[in-house]
Amino acid sequence: MYFQALFIFSLLIISSSQAAVLDFCVGDLSLPDGPGGYACKKPSKVTSDDFVFSGLATPVKLIPLIKAAVTPAFAPQFPGLNGLGISMARLDLAIGGVIPMHTHPGASEVLYVVQGEICAGFISSSDNKVFFKTLKQGDIMVFPQGLLHFQINSGKTSALAIVSFSSPTPGLQITDFALFANDLPTELVAATTFLDAALIKKLKGVLGGTN
């Protein structure tokens, strides 16, 4: 006989009704959340579908003027990631497309070039040194936590990249949007960026900022 023993089924007295904190915590977005993420969906209601997300299979519509789009699979979109220290996103860049300077306040990022050619880089905080390189299909690049970085389609075809983050909720702060698509009074933007008021007002107009 290949198996030498007749087990009793309930070897251990960990009831499945209490399983949530053991293996996973699929987020229940209808409950109050906490600093560590969403509250857990009841284990009895969790199915395979909770761990699979198809929202990256097709790109969202490109933003015409950056000729690019970011499609996140963070915990709010994919609650199966809740509490697991990881997430993904899809970058689509048409010819000439750009993901402008941005940061992820709470995560490091690794980018994988699925298709095309991408020039990507980040800026160190201590000495403003720029680390950048042109990546070809299959190359990966890491962007350390919280630093300004960018991606540009530097090839002659559209480009596709998958990026992964060291947090289920990495955040995304695009510098232009943060500075100009807000209601911070123009004089405060001017004082803190050293750009002049006329330019700021113009950018606010374009990006939907006020004041």
Tell me: is residue 109 an annotated ligand-binding position.
Answer: yes
Are the beta carbons of 86 and 157 closer than 8 angstroms?
no
Of the candidates 62, 52, 81, the residue with the CA atom closest to the CA atom of residue 169? 81
Give strand ranges (E) for 67-203: 68-73, 87-93, 98-103, 109-115, 118-123, 130-135, 140-143, 149-153, 159-165, 173-174
Segment 118 to 157, residues that bind a copy of itself, using CB under 8 A: 119, 121-133, 135-148, 150, 152
Segment 179 to 208, residues that bind a copy of itself, using CB under 8 A: 179, 181-184, 188, 190-196, 199, 202-203, 206-208
Q: In the complex, what is the shortest distance from the CB of residue 28 to a copy of itself, in angstroms, rounded to a whole number?
A: 7
Q: In the complex, what is the shortest distance from the CB of residue 159 to a copy of itself, in angstroms, rounded to a whole number?
A: 14
Interaction between residue 45 and a copy of itself (CB under 8 A): no
Cα atoms in the Cβ-side hemisphere of radius 13 Å centred on 95: 3
Q: How many CB atoms lie within 10 A of CB 32?
A: 7
Of the candidates 40, 16, 47, 43, the residue with the CA atom closest to the CA atom of residue 26? 40
Interaction between residue 176 and a copy of itself (CB under 8 A): yes
- List 120's β-bridge partners, or say none: 133, 151
Binding residues with a copy of itself: total (CB under 8 A): 150
Tell me: is residue 103 an annotated ligand-binding position.
Answer: no
Segment 1 to 40, residues that bind a copy of itself, using CB under 8 A: 1-9, 11-16, 18-25, 28-29, 31-40
The site string for a copy of itself over 82-121 (x = CB under 8 A, - otherwise) reads xxxxxxx---------xxxx-xxxxxxxx-x-x----x-x
Q: In the complex, what is the shortest distance from the CB of residue 94 to a copy of itself, in angstroms, rounded to a whole number?
A: 13
Counting Cβ atoms within 10 Å, is residue 192 exposed (0-12), middle (13-18) or buried (19+)?
exposed
Interaction between residue 77 and a copy of itself (CB under 8 A): yes
Tell me: is residue 155 an annotated ligand-binding position.
Answer: no
Tell me: is residue 102 an annotated ligand-binding position.
Answer: yes
- Residue of 45, 64, 92, 157 that binds a copy of itself (CB under 8 A): 64
CA distance 53 to 72: 11
Residue with tokens 């960018």: 150
Q: In the complex, what is the shortest distance from the CB of residue 89 to a copy of itself, in angstroms, rounded to a whole number?
A: 9
H or E element in which residue 186 lies = helix 186-193
Binding residues for oxalate: 104, 109
Binding residues: 102, 104, 109, 149
Binding residues for Mn(2+): 102, 104, 109, 149
